[in-house]
Chain A
Amino acid sequence: MVAVASTNEFVVKFANVNGTGSASANHLFAKALFRMGIPVSPRNLFPSNIQGLPTWYEVRISEQGYLGRRSDRVELVVAMNPQSFTADVDSLVPGGYLLYDSTKLIDLSRYRDDIHWLGIPLMDICMREYQDPRQRQIFKNIIYVGALAALLNIEFPVVKDLIADQFRGKEKLIAPNIHALELGHQYASQNFDCPLGIQVRRRDLLGDAILVDGNTAAALGCVYGGATVASWYPITPSTSLVEAFEKYANRLRIDPGSGNKNFAILQAEDEISAMGIVIGASWNGARAFTATSGPGVSLMTEFLGLAYYAEIPVVLFNVQRGGPSTGMPTRTQQADLLSSAYASHGDTKHILLFPADPRDSFELAAQAFDLAERLQTPVIVMLDLELGMNDWVSPPFDWDDRRRYDRGKVLDAGQLQALDTFGRYVDVDGDGIPYRTYPGTHPDKGAFFTRGTSHNPFAGYSESNTDYVENVDRITRKFTTACDVLPAPVVGKSKRSSSLHGVVYIGTTALVMNEVIDRLGELGVSLDTLQVRAFPFHAEVFKFIKNHQKVFVIDQNRDGQLRTLLINEGDIDPAKLVSILHYDGHPITAATVIDAVVGHLDVKTGRPSPAVQVPPQEVEQ
């Protein structure tokens, strides 16, 4: 039988039962590879459930730096869940390996004969070594990590160091964990031909990179960006963003004199209230944010219209999940583009930012507060579950200590004193952005009445048709100003000086694009790329589309929402934009994009479609 063989290019899948403590063991595995300097992308594929249902943790190891999800096929499965066992066996490539608990006899002949079985009596070992039932459960996970270290050639001291780091402050737990690792390592070394055909080797390719999830990164961006008020209502997959903000704020934002908090976090009764709290706080001059997902944004839309029209800064993180209604709460999509861009009734439009990795998430989170206050309007940071809840190899966070917050056009008491008249919605500078004042600034100047009803330049109630039109046209001017200050797109030129074809995408789709471009290059197809980072679109985006004959638009939703936005906002001939769609709730793969491009351009590859390709080398074992 053949065995798959590869160094530093393969995928390992852990199949666990939800709620059995496997997450930290699996993370340990991924982190060990990271510390060996090998590009690695772990991701949770988990059900919307507390305990009992199957959950998977998929780790792609790629020396070439391909961090996107590869495919449904993997080289090694750690099959710890009887419920999903058959499906897990089926997910292996021919010649792949299956690590399973051999305590109970399993009739392997009922399954495939083209894979390698690695049976370890995990439960037996645990029963022998541990008395406490909880320990038996937990250490089973650590034992298989120890076995994997032997099987895949992971440097054992690296794993031991990680255990020591993890339990710093709880030193009592270090020794038993290392013992469990050794049990697994020993068993694998004695019973199997280690290392396997698939194995890892230290590469030190990662430099000063960090391994962190996008929600934590965004939360740190909020701390550094000066957010003082956070209000939220728990919802997957955004919850960990506010929890991370709380963790870091408690660490970094305690007033040294009094011990009091230089921040306020309020769990609201619903998303409507969370948004109301953000609006009230921002109106009153604090930097405030909320984090939610699609269903929460739906609830916030009336308030978003108020913030748009009354011109109040708002920072909102929409960590997108799958589907309409309750949909697929633990699956990923980018399907809230239209509902976020035009949230609320009447003529409304909102600024969207699209981070693609944790570093970007940190940076755009911090920048969102500057933009919201400068432009006096909601800014929605569009993450997705794939970015928010998974760990990514990312450049480290950076902060320039000379950087100052841009608080926008706010008049203080002295400036008000010098003014003859103050009009909240007067376009003094011709950029569409008016001046605002905080309550309690000046005894008799600068007060105004904030309202969602139509108003004149002095914030007075007005139903005059000319007042209305002048006001909404000024807001349009403000959005024109916005296009110039929003983050510009990232343009990538193909290796040939420029291609006739381009591809446009947002957010986490960027994580598969290096693989897409390389593989297409092997097929003789070159594409110029453009990663959109903000809406309304920068002029560069439309220039890029204009300069290409055909532009692929990648959407992680059914309806081609990014394409719709481009057509709508740029007055683009729809025939020019070719949709590439992916919306099954799993993260997009390079193969999806490659197949679509190859299919559309009718490329004669002479090879099987990349989607069904298995990794390159196969050798006899």
Chain B
Amino acid sequence: MSYIPKPSFRHPQLPVNDLGLTVRDYEGALSTLCAGCGHDSISSAVMQACHQMALEPYRVAKMSGIGCSSKTPNYFLNQAHGFNAVHGRMPSVTTGANLANRDLIYIGMSGDGDTASIGIGQFIHAVRRRLNMVYIVANNGTYGLTKGQNSATADRGSLAKKGSANPWDNVDLVTMAIQAGAGFVARSFSGDKAQLVPLLQAAIAHNGFAFIDCISPCVTFNNHRGSTKSFDYVREHNTALNRTDFIPMKEEITADYQPGEFTDVCLHDGSVMRLHKMAADGAAGYDPQDRVAALDHIQRRSAAGEVLTGLLYLEPNAPDMHEVMETAEQPLNQLGERELCPGREVLQTINASFR
């Protein structure tokens, strides 16, 4: 816990959003992570995304498991309820929360240990149920809280701080998420907020499972030469597939670009995600709504040693968990005796069926 109180000073001319809130109204407690931690940049990107979308903070539920990443929900959106569950089990708790109240926005913060190791089963099953949530993995390839063991997303051959090479193959969460049926899959980098913030906005607007694998270097245990999750390594090997603009539903779409340079995708809530192709280094790009092409491309770029970032796959109109389950429109937690209890007379009929 931090013993330094967070200063309450705010600049008088901070921009306000449609709710009249400044970005400071989206803040949380003071972070207790290491200075320079990539995860703090993700928290800050979440605040910016929510502020720009003018989300009411209290309509968000912040979900997490255990680990450095899972502490971050405490560091943004103070007016939102948060749930720091047990290790690797955030997906099931979020599933239950969403079943109880489909009207809130669920933002889950997890890490590579929490998701790719202990929680890989729950992750996959939340994906395949198309749970309507934003699932962010702050991916640093290492266990920070227990001081630097390799995680399951560490690349084979990546060097640990003490010099040993990781002997095991890595788990690639984005291909796994696409295969399991996630409707929105992106990879980003905590050091690239210009890319991350619009991706977060689009992920929040997406109806269904929106997954962002965010490479987020661990400055203390995994930011050295020879690590494939260091700031330097990711900067050097980052291949941005596209750049995203998020255009909220109410804004008029103005064309600043030549046709052919971008694709507009209409999201569930009517807002638009504009994808600017960035075919650098011979990466020809592909239609992000083509699942097979996405998987093919991600694996080719990975084999070429690149860290492919951007929006990788999108299926904007797939039904989410509630549509599949045909649950009531009204959140289940708002139903009372009138809707739930069939009453005495019906029970007498049921009794008769047992005679």
Contacts and interface: CB of A to CB of B under 8 A. Distances in A.
B335 interface: yes
A310 to B, nearest CB: 8
Nearest to A278: B96
A521 interface: no
Contacts of B350: 220, 248, 397
A414 to B, nearest CB: 15
B174 to A, nearest CB: 21
Contacts of B85: 276, 279, 306, 452
Contact of B101 (A302, A306, A440): A440
Given A286-B99, A440-B104, A272 B327 contact: no
Interface string A241-269: 00000001000110100111111101011
B351 A397 contact: yes
A262 B327 CA distance: 6
A495 interface: no
B243 interface: no
B340 interface: yes
A285 B96 contact: no
Given A285-B101, A462-B1, A276 B81 contact: no
Contacts of B341: 223-224, 226, 399
A303 B86 contact: yes
Contact of A439 (B81, B325, B326, B329): B81
B337 A440 contact: no
Contact of B92 (A280, A399, A441, A447): A280
Nearest to B126: A273
Interface stretch (A45-53, A400-408, A549-557, A612-620): A400-408
A448 B84 CA distance: 11
Interface stretch (B54-62, B202-210, B288-296, B306-314): B54-62
Given A269-B125, A463-B1, A228 B335 contact: yes
A473 interface: no
Interface string B87-108: 0010111111111110110000
Contacts of B86: 302-303, 306, 452
A287 B350 CA distance: 23
Nearest to B58: A443
A210 B355 contact: yes
B94 A262 contact: no
B332 interface: yes
A435 B82 CA distance: 16
A284 B79 contact: no
B344 A400 contact: yes
B121 interface: yes
Interface string B66-89: 000000011000111111111001
A397 B336 CA distance: 21
Contact of A262 (B58, B332, B347): B332
Contacts of B93: 276-277, 279-280, 283
B351 A210 contact: yes
Contacts of A405: 336-337
Given A261-B327, A442-B58, A280 B100 contact: yes
A451 interface: yes
21 contacts: A209-B355, A228-B333, A262-B328, A262-B339, A268-B125, A270-B121, A273-B91, A276-B91, A277-B92, A278-B96, A279-B96, A280-B83, A281-B333, A283-B93, A401-B343, A437-B81, A439-B61, A447-B80, A447-B82, A452-B84, A460-B1
Closest 3 CB pairs of A and B: A280-B96, A276-B92, A286-B100
